[in-house]
Structure 1
Amino acid sequence: MATRDCKTGKVRNTATIKPLQSAHNSLRDAKAEDSVKGKKLPAQPGQKTNPKIKVDSQKVCNEKIKAHQDGEKVLDFSAHMEAVRPCFNKFGQHEPATVRIKNIITQYVGDRDGCGIEELIKELLQNSDDSQATEIHFVLDKRTLPNSRVWKEWKSMQGPALCVHNNSVFTEKDIESIQKLGVGSKSIDPDKTGQFGIGFNVVYQLTDCPILLSDHKDICMFDPHLKYVPGACDERPGGHVDLQQDTNFAKLFPDFMAGFLRGQVSHAGSTIFRLPLRQPNANSQICDMTFSPPDVEAMEATFQSVEFRMFLHSSLLFTKHLNQVTVSS
């Protein structure tokens, strides 16, 4: 297409002119970009910002490109994402804690019919040794504790239990480690033979909800079934109580606190695990092993046997810190 210049009267070919104009504009814009490098972008009249986004500084890429066009609203991407966020529902591969723990126990036990009380005790000895405890005390608590001063979901857990007390305390790192299924200190530090590694999960052969009290400050409760601890959920299947902050907890739930052998062992400067023995009507998704009254009596007989005492004595030969072990009921 041709056009005539009004001043000269010459005919020009616009098909040739347009590419030249485009090249000229690009060069001009590039120079403009160089001239504003490092300058902060001034606020445009009427420009709206998203208060949720904190902006420390802004730089101009090209002053010829406006943040918005006159009379037109430019889409605020962050605001748009906030608007569509409810469209995203939770989704993804998921494995309940009960399934994971059951698989861990199956892999640990192998073809054996359970790991046996000695194997379980050995893991607990190793855990205590790794925490640099020098003394450990196993107590078979055959009592059925009162359940009127506990929360309703916990009432069925006030029966007989195996308690493990040692003279070491939990650190913040220990509290973090023991929450990791199969990825505890054992896999991080090769010098630690058992602390909170896969082997710790053998306690789930006895119980569905192990709990511990450390230094009379921290209570940690594990609830993979999500039915014994208020607030337990898939992301965090358990509960933690800081007794220094929640000073009324022990007063509100004295029957629960009695499970930590109050008056029998020292709580300060020590840690005590309580493993409520699984009752026949527990309907566990982790392990079928349950403990009727005769089973509890049989466990006590094992603890009192000469063979078991010899086993404990020989186990101390492989520990670095433990030098005393006691068993009672």
Structure 2
Amino acid sequence: MSNKTPKKAKGREFKPREPYTHRLRKILEDYPDGSQVLREILQNSDDAKSTEQIFILDHNTYPKDNLFEPDLDNYKRTDLKLDRYQGPALLAKNNTIFEERDFQSLLKLADSEKRDQYDKIGVMGVGFNSIYHITDSPSFITGDKYVILDPHEWYFNGGVEFDFVDEKLYDEYPNQFAPFRIPCDKSFKGTIFRYPLRTDDDSIDSDISKKIYKPDEILAMFQKF
């Protein structure tokens, strides 16, 4: 790999019209913790017409160099770094690729002002947000797109979508993609979500939840599922 400074990864931001960490807290009050989180993921996969759903509990911690540089100044002020998400995670993989309306659904999850709108926002229903019981920053790869959700706006402006294949981002930032455990130099024929587990340090900073999740607790969820 070359020693030259990598080009800055640029993506399409999709900032909601209002911060939604407080909205997520409210949603989590209505959606049970524990194995119900897995059921919500499975329901979203079924709604997307997937014919398979695979869950993976990844205990590994990945290298912390060669990662994206955040766009916002917040991380400079708070000394937050993306390497906090290189630890253990829950992965959920299915064989359906996101469509544009699914990306729009992610926006509507934050923008919907009325609770009765939540069941009208497409494949990514409000139940998707139950995943914030265990993580503060979900990310996923679908087709040739890589998406990072950042409801705290610590690193990106709410969320960002990268064309990782066309931009050859794997060559520049291999450790950003290593935790997905799939080849990332080509399009992925499906969708794989990665949910980094909330750590002790994350819980201090989080405005969504103070609940810390260890791999053993995810394993217990599997056993009850």
TM interval, shorter chain, is 0.7 to 0.9
TM-score by length of 1: 0.53
CA distance in 1 between counterparts of 2:50 and 2:27 reads 26
Deviations 1:15-71 (A, max 9, x none): xxxxxxxxxxxxxxxxxxxxxxxxxxxxxxxxxxxxxxxxxxxxxxxxxxxxxxxxx
Q: Does 1:241 align with 2:162?
A: yes
Aligned-residue offset at 1:200? 0.8
Contact 1:214 1:271 in 2 (8 A): yes
Q: Does 1:212 align with 2:140?
A: yes
Aligned with 1:145 (options 62, 70, 94): 62
Aligned with 2:200 (options 280, 297, 304): 280
Deviations 1:121-160 (A, max 9, x none): 1110110001100000000011011111113531111010
Matched position secondary structure for 1:270:
strand
CA distance in 1 between counterparts of 2:34 and 2:201 reads 22
Contact 2:105 2:121 in 1 (8 A): no
Matched position secondary structure for 2:147:
strand
Matched position secondary structure for 1:289:
coil
- Counterpart code for 1:219: Y
Matched position secondary structure for 1:181:
helix
CA distance in 1 between counterparts of 2:66 and 2:175 reads 5
CA distance in 1 between counterparts of 2:174 and 2:22 reads 33
Matched position secondary structure for 2:136:
coil
Contact 2:66 2:174 in 1 (8 A): yes
Matched position secondary structure for 1:180:
helix
Q: Does 1:225 align with 2:152?
A: yes
Deviations 1:52-107 (A, max 9, x none): xxxxxxxxxxxxxxxxxxxxxxxxxxxxxxxxxxxxxxxxxx8522112112222x
Q: Which residue of 2 aligns with 1:97?
A: 20
Q: Which residue of 1 aligns with 2:106?
A: 178
Corresponding residue pairs, total:
189
Contact 1:186 1:196 in 2 (8 A): no
Q: Which residue of 1 aligns with 2:77?
A: none
Structure with more contact order per residue of length (Cα contacts < 8 Å, sep ≥ 6): 2
CA distance in 2 between counterparts of 1:208 and 1:117 reads 16
Deviations 1:140-186 (A, max 9, x none): 01101111111353111101000000011101111111222265884
Contact 2:109 2:118 in 1 (8 A): no
Structure with bigger gyration radius: 1
Change (3 A) 1:185 1:95: closer
Aligned-residue offset at 1:301? 4.4
> Percent identity at matched positions?
32
Deviations 1:216-257 (A, max 9, x none): x01111101111x3xx23xxx11110124322x111111110
Q: Does 1:187 align with 2:116?
A: no
Matched position secondary structure for 1:281:
helix
Q: Does 1:202 align with 2:130?
A: yes
Gap regions ≥5 residues in structure 2: 1-16, 70-80
Aligned-residue offset at 1:268? 2.6
Q: Equivalent residues in 2 for 1:130-141 (5 A)?
A: 130-141=47-58
Contact 2:134 2:197 in 1 (8 A): yes
Aligned-residue offset at 1:280? 0.5
- Counterpart code for 1:273: F
CA distance in 2 between counterparts of 1:149 and 1:139 reads 24
- Counterpart code for 2:161: H
Aligned-residue offset at 1:188? 4.5
Matched position secondary structure for 2:120:
helix
Aligned with 1:164 (options 83, 92, 110): 92
Change (3 A) 1:157 1:125: same
CA distance in 2 between counterparts of 1:176 and 1:224 reads 15
Change (3 A) 1:166 1:256: same
Q: List, as ranges, runs of 4+ consecutive aligned residues in structure 1 with deviation greater than 6 Å.
A: none
Change (3 A) 1:185 1:175: farther
